[in-house]
Structure 1
Amino acid sequence: MAPDDAAKRRRTGRTLALIAVAAVLGIVGGTAVGYGIQADREPTPLPPLNQPGLAYPAKPLPKGQEPVPLTAAEDRGLRTEGDLRKLLLQKPAGARKVDFAPEDGWKGLAAYAEDFDGPSGEFEYLLGNGVRRIASTAWRTGEYRITQINLVQFRADGGQGAAEHAEDQRGFMEDEAGYGTPVKGSEDGRTYLLPVDRKAGYHDLYQARAYLHRGDVMIEIFMADAKKISQKDISSLAERQLERL
């Protein structure tokens, strides 16, 4: 694949929020959003170092003198090594289910790639960057508002899959909504309010998005509504989701 082609594919747009709200508003009919079921696999342990003499200290410390293990608050990696679905924000009180949300909270890579322009290229790119698993949730509140959150985890083997994936999507969003607003607590995460989509005879369509990462997990959030979405709404959601990681 030529470099220019790769750049075009990686800076692709997400269509799921638009399709979801369009279906709710009756703008399109007969659209089904498929999803794959990803097995709840245990994290794959790294192979041991095959080099003798690297252990320190040479002998185990006496009982009672061992160092205290780091807590989850001190080692964020402990949080993401467990069930990634438990780190997703919970549905707010009164929220309703949406058809495209995976029943078990896992989204398969093929279904995830289908939300991009150029699914096969995105599938190949994510595999090459070491994508590991995707936890996903979505809900509907009010009359039309739909919210979706994806946690896309990459293998922590020295690569920068989560950072690169978030950066790619932010690059695309600059063309759609400018430079966005920084997410508090994130190094380079941003939220975006897209221009309203108005068509004669249909409800207005408002969209907001967030792209950020922490460690090996990339966070993406989509909001769509027939009414205006405030900056506070999308920023608060992004900050609260980041805190859980």
Structure 2
Amino acid sequence: MLGVVAGLCTGYVVQADRDPDPLPPLAQQKVTQAKGGKAPEALSAAQDRRLRTDGDLRKLLVPRPSGAQKASGIQQGWIDQYGFAADFEEPARAFRNLSDESFRRAATVAWERGQSMTTVSLIQYRETERLAAQDYVSVQGDYSADDAGNGGEPVPGSAEGRVYVYDRPETKAGYLPLYKSHSLAARGDVVMDIWMYDTKPIPKKSAMDLAKRQLERL
């Protein structure tokens, strides 16, 4: 199976060897509702991103394009932590790092068309103590920049998102060349991770358009 890049690495913050100074209590002013006042209406999913991302993550994946076939041999739909870690070159290490980063869940869709294949994954973290989604994008982006031979192109609407179209294909005697692109971005606690594979060069515009369409759904 065409897997994702090598395992995750994360940095850890070492606290100084002293107790932190306690924070002063917050001044909380009692708020009362005016007589006859009406409570504000709840935000819709279009207005509140958390309503979308706390729901069915699979519904946020871009749909398989018309004319494309469901990719064979690729886990799709809900992906648990074991299944997600299995796609890395060092699954055991990846599983430990996902646990440390409070992995919550993931969902994937993949399709084939001719000699090309595309996989789109959404990975969600609990983020109780750290910005794990941004860490994932940063670390995996470093791997892809090295492998792709370039620094990638920024994804509009994302501070750290980038599209990496590899400068050179993978080659192996007896096989067609394998061209790749990798797109990464985070929005809140959700990571967008997209791989495109083909036997001919992948247009940067195609990779960017898909990345933008997926990011808009988050």
SS in 2 for 1:150: strand
Match of 1:10 among 8, 19, 31: 8
CA displacement 1:51-72 (0-9 Å, x = unmatched): xxx79535x6666610222232
Return closer, same or farther for 1:157/1:62 CA change in 2, 3 Å cut-off: farther
Distance 2:82 2:34 in 1: 48
Q: Give the TM-score taking structure 2 as reference length.
A: 0.82
Question: How much does 1:73 deviate?
Answer: 3.0
Match of 1:180 among 138, 148, 152: 152
Q: Which has the higher strand share?
A: 2
Find the aligned partners of 1:114 and 1:220 in 2 and give their Cα distance: 16
CA RMSD of superposed structures (Å): 2.2
Change (3 A) 1:208 1:73: same
Q: How much does 1:87 deviate?
A: 0.2
AA aligned to 2:43 is L
Kept after mapping to 2: 8 A contact 1:182/1:189? yes
Which of 70, 75, 88 is matched with 2:43 structurally? 70
**Counterparts of 2:49 and 2:188 in 1: how far apart (Å)?**
8
Contiguous gaps of at least 5 residues in structure 1:
1-7, 13-53
* Percent of paired sites with the same residue: 39
Unmatched 5+ stretches in structure 2: 1-5, 11-27
What do the CA deviations read for 1:127-180 (whole angstroms, capped 9, x no partner)?
A: 111110001110111x11100011000014252011101111001112112211
SS in 1 for 2:88: coil
Match of 1:212 in 2: 185
Q: Is the 8 A contact 1:196 1:207 kept in 2?
A: yes
Query: Which stretch has the larger CA shift, 127-136 or 72-81?
Result: 72-81
- Counterparts of 1:140-179 in structure 2, within 5 Å, are 140-141=112-113, 143-177=114-148, 178-179=150-151
Deviations 1:4-57, CA, capped at 9 Å, x for gaps: xxxx84259xxxxxxxxxxxxxxxxxxxxxxxxxxxxxxxxxxxxxxxxx7953
Structure 1 position 241, deviation (Å)? 0.2
Q: Please report how far the alpha carbon of residue 112 of structure 1 lies from its aligned counterpart in structure 2 after TM superposition.
A: 1.1
Alpha-carbon deviation of 1:117? Answer: 1.9
Aligned residues: 195
Q: Which has the higher helix share?
A: 1
Give the structure-1-normalised TM-score: 0.73
> What is the rounded CA distance, in whole Å, between the counterparts of 2:129 and 2:49 in structure 1?
16
